[in-house]
Amino acid sequence: MARCAQGHDWGAPVAWHSAQFRPDKFKGVVGLSVPFRPRGDVPPTTTMTETNDAIFYQLYFQRPGVAEPGLEKDVSRSLSTMLLGVAGSANVESASGGMIPKGVFWLDSRIPLDAMPPWITQTDIDCYSNEFKRSGFRGGLNWYRNIDRNWKLLAPWAGAKGDRSSALRCG
């Protein structure tokens, strides 16, 4: 039975590639925040910006042990800032194109909202916080640390097109 691959943010490339690799299993893709992007000619991190004053957030996450201590110091604050900070227009990272000032902890470059929006509760934040206190942030950060490795592994599928003859709307 064909299904729809769904993914948001980090999950969007997983969804796109799942459907590309196995068009017999997926009839469509719902990718939120990240459109399909064909494999480029150079490793992704080589195209990411670093200046004397700032570094692109995905490069910031490349070195193990740099982001984890700050994120794990106050997990609830970290998650609130990440989840709620992207919901408001005061998000410094959005205005800066994802650049983080050098010498600054990543979340200190973001401004959290003063109040929670209706789509999330403190109970939700507490639930996520408990899991990240247990597991840490390294697993999620390792996704960024494998960007170039994933690029290399996708080489055999460069230019591949999925069978769209059976593509139907998802749902």
pLDDT tens figures, 116-158: 778 888 899 899 999 999 999 999 999 999 999 999 998 988 8
Of 61-75, 76-90, 154-168, minimum mean pLDDT range: 154-168
**The predicted structure's pLDDT at residue 7:** 83
Could you tell me the CA-to-CA distances from 14 to 34, 122, 127 in Å, in that order?
Answer: 11, 29, 25
CB 81 within 8 A of CB 64: no
Task: Give whichever of 87-101, 133-147, 157-171 has the largest mean pLDDT.
Answer: 133-147
Q: What predicted TM-score, i.e. pTM, was given to this entire model? A: 0.77
154 burial type by CB count under 10 A (0-12 exposed, 13-18 middle, 19+ buried) = middle
**The predicted structure's pLDDT at residue 94:** 47
Please state, in angstroms and rounded to a whole number, the distance separating the CA atoms of residues 120 and 125. 8
**The predicted structure's pLDDT at residue 73:** 92
